[in-house]
Structure formats: structure tokens, C-alpha cells
Amino acid sequence: MGSKKFFILTFGCQMNVYDSGRIAQILTARNYQPVHDPAGADLILLNTCSVREKPEKKVYSALGRFRTLKRKKPGLLIGVAGCVAQQEGEGLLARVPYLDFVLGTKELKKIPEILDRLERTAGRACAVALDGRIDPYRELPLFPAPGGPTAFVSTMQGCDNFCSFCVVPFVRGREVSRPSQDIREEIKALSEKGVKEVTLLGQNVNSYGRGTPGEPDFVGLLESIEKIPGIERIRFTTSHPKDLSAGLIGAFGRLSRLCEHIHLPLQSGSNHILERMNRGYTKEEYLERVQRLRAACPGISITTDIIVGFPGETEEDFRQTLEMLERIQFEEMFSFRYSDRPGTRASTFPAKIQEGSKQKRLTELQALQRGITQRRYKTWEGREAEILVEGPSKAGGEEKTGRTRANHIVNFPGASIAVGALVRVRIQKALAHSLRGELI
Ligand code: SAH
Ligand code: SF4
Ligand code: F3S
């Protein structure tokens, strides 16, 4: 019998991208092969995100599209994994009658068992246990296959911070660090397959190792990864401003492979809103951390996340966010309109902001940051940078694309340059969200 085909559609953050890689490996070990067109698949899996209303809605519209495929091919299995699966559980089976299975964020190990059952007999399955501080990757035998010279590596699961707007602690469970030995072995295996850059993932990497006796802290983990041969660049995401340690600040500029970029979500520039968000820092503390980062590592690129229209956010609160953007001069910003998430404290807060006002604030915020990003990108013109070549550029042709250590995308003519090469380029021109360069 020929092998079966699977198609995975991934929504949400890098953790989901990582998990989809692990799922693909589990399926490949079961004689399934990946396909790029869902119409040819025997199994379609949606790996979902529920962090905001918009990504969650996308899941339902995607499911709607797959319904017709299922009508044409009754043997087709459709499953939902990830954070919406965790959030909705059995309810998702009730809501989507043609759905075959629901798989929670810590249940990847159950995939073989569920497929064994559903391939043989008609029926439906739901596995969404989330208890305890269990590392969900421990029971999975294989390392993720690299898709190029860069790879994500999970260092921890879950989050204990309970920011009042955030669903992550409810859908990813309590914080649990992976054993550092597992992380290093995974990175060694990736390196042997040609990976040059790893991005370490965790909702708050600063608490890596907390509550795990005998394990290093995050800086210790970084130091041990520095020594793995073949790994030229290390990145991580995300670090929470409230516990950005002096040790981690000092690691920038000290560890030669740690790239000069940090994603440090500010969320709001108003102390009143930060407190209601339960973020655990004031804008003054945030500013002080930014200053220390820039003192330790002058070239560091700082990017952020902002939420506009949090319940009770006044025009004055919003002005303070704009002011923080002016003062800090972030390299890039990701910004979102606040949306209520099930089970969160903020969803019960009064003084919800109208969608129209949220949109107006978002537009103003993004216009301000666009100018700042442009000015910062402009400072790169004429300078040299080291690029890790990631593949052909979107424009196609002879163009290649890669990133600087500070995480700027650079496109350059480089027909003969191999993917995975570290090259030096001179930046010629700054565009809206990328740079153009030429090989030196
Ligand atoms: N762990 C990261 C954030 C993960 S969620 C941290 O601690 O910052 C990614 C981003 O989504 C958040 O930084 C926040 O800006 C946004 N976000 C989360 N919940 C949201 C909500 N309910 N409404 C709008 N944006 C939200
Ligand atoms: Fe969500 Fe806050 Fe945890 Fe980030 S730190 S995942 S925003 S609860
Ligand atoms: Fe979304 Fe889950 Fe990541 S809610 S942001 S996919 S942890």
C-alpha cells in the first residue's frame, strides 16, 4: 500500500510552528508524507491559535473550506490541534460535525493512538489533558527535521504570569522547562543537519529552569549552547520585561553567538493600564531596562508588542503609549486591537473600548512607528552587515534573502551563494520592512 498524505495548516506563534514540525515527524514515522495541496491529503490538521479573536476566527473559516473536501473524500480525516483545540475541547466536536479529532497542546504523543483508531473504525476522538508540570516533548522520540539553516527549539512550555488579557496560561498550562540536556541534544542534532541559527522559544524565557533543581538558569543555558559546534547564531523569544535579569542583559555583547536583538513586549505606555494588565513593571522600569540593554550592547535592536484599546484605556493612556514609542525608538512593533479572551480577567473588566476607537488608535500608533522604523532602517545605509542566507528572496530571480544579526531582512543579488552561507553585504537601501544590499 502506498503512503498516506498529510497537510498541516499552522496558525499563531513560533511555538505552533515548532509543534507542527514535531507533528510532521510523528506522521512521517507512520508512513505519511507531507503535501502542499490539502486536496491531495488523507489527513488535514489545523494547528491553531486563540490569542486574539482574529486568529481564532481564521480557524473556523479554514475548517469551512475543508468541509467540501471531506464531502468528496469521505475517508479524509480532519483534526484540530493547538490552542483553540485546548480551549474548546469536546465543544469543538459538537460545533464542527465533520471534525474527526481534537488534540490539546500537551497531547502530541497521542497522535499515533488516535490515528490507529480512526483509520480502522469510524468515530471521533478528543484528547485535551493539560494537568501538571509535564514536558510534552519528553515522550516524543524524534528531533524535528530542519527546513533550512534556521530552526526553532522549544525550551519551555506554558506560562505562569497570567497577564489579565492573555489566554496562553489557560491553553498552554503551567510553566515547565525542558531538561537542558534534551535541548542541547536537539540543537546538536540540528547542527549536524546543517542548522546554523537556533531561536529558543518560551513564553517567558527568563524563568527557564525555575523550579527545576539541578538545571541552569536561562543565561547558563545560553552559555552551554554557545559551545555547540556549528551553531553560529542564537536568538530567543520572548523575554518578559519584569524579569529581564542583569545576567541576561550582560549576556548581550558578552556571548559572541547571541544575536543583537531582543523582543521585549511593552503592551502599553501607561502605568495605570500596565497595572490592570498585571504586567508587573512600570514604564519607568521598562525604560531603565532599555537603557541598560543599550549600554551593554550599543547596536542592539529592540522590538515590541503593543495592545491598543485595553478596557478602560483613555486617550491620555494612549498618548503615553505614543510617547514611549517616541522615547524608545523601537526597530519594529507588532500591534493589536485588544480582544476579550475566554476565562481571562480582563474579559470581565468594564469600560470596554469601541472597535472604532481601537482602530483609530491602532492606525495612529502604526503611522508613528512606521516613521521610526524607517529612520532606524535608514541608519543602515552604507554600513556592512553579516547575513545568514535563508533562501531565494520573495522577488525570485537571482535574489537571495537572509537576516542580519539584529534581525533585519536583507535581499541581495547572489545567484551563486548557497543557502546556509554566512556572507558580508553592504547595505544600499532601506525599504519599509527590509534592506537591500550587495555582496562585499
Ligand atoms: N509571551 C509573550 C506574548 C505572547 S502573545 C509576552 O509575554 O509578551 C503575543 C502578543 O499578543 C502579546 O504580546 C500581546 O501584545 C498580544 N495579545 C495577547 N492577548 C491579547 C488580547 N487579548 N488582545 C489583543 N492582543 C493580545
Ligand atoms: Fe501571556 Fe503574559 Fe504569559 Fe506572555 S507573559 S504568555 S502575555 S500571560
Ligand atoms: Fe497563539 Fe497558542 Fe501561540 S494562543 S500565540 S498559538 S501559544
Residues 225 and 233: their CA atoms lie apart, in Å, by 10
This prediction's pTM: 0.96
Nearest CA among 27, 37, 84 for reference residue 60: 84
Residues 144 and 141: their CA atoms lie apart, in Å, by 10
Show Cβ contacts of residue 70 under 8 Å, excluding neighbours closer than 6 positions.
Answer: 76, 78, 98
User: For the chain, which ranges sit under pLDDT 70?
Assistant: 1-2, 142-144
| CB 317 within 8 Å of CB 283 | no
Check residue 85 and give its pLDDT.
98
What is the greatest pairwise CA distance in the chain?
A: 66
159 Cβ below 6 A of ligand 3: no
Q: How many CB atoms lie within 10 A of CB 134?
A: 16
CA 166 to chain centre: 15
Nearest ligand to the CA atom of 84: 3
Å from CA of 269 to ligand 1 middle: 15
Residues 211 and 177: their CA atoms lie apart, in Å, by 9
Q: How many CB atoms lie within 10 A of CB 371?
A: 11
Check residue 74 and give its pLDDT.
86
Among protein residues, the one with the nearest Cα to ligand 3's atom 7 is 168
268 Cβ below 6 A of ligand 1: no
Count CA within 13 A, CB hemisphere, residue 397.
6
All structural domains of the chain: 4-127 (3.40.50.2300), 132-259 (3.30.750.210), 384-439 (2.40.50.140)
Å from CA of 163 to ligand 1 middle: 9
- Strands 332-337 and 32-34, sheet pairing: unpaired
Phi, psi of 311 (to 5 degrees): -50, 130
Report the residue among 11, 13, 130 best suited for mutation to probe ligand 3: largest number of ligand atoms under 8 A from its CB.
13
204 Cβ below 6 A of ligand 2: yes
Show Cβ contacts of residue 165 under 8 Å, excluding neighbours closer than 6 positions.
Answer: 277, 307, 310, 338, 341, 344, 346
| CB 9 within 8 Å of CB 62 | yes
Check residue 122 and give its pLDDT.
85
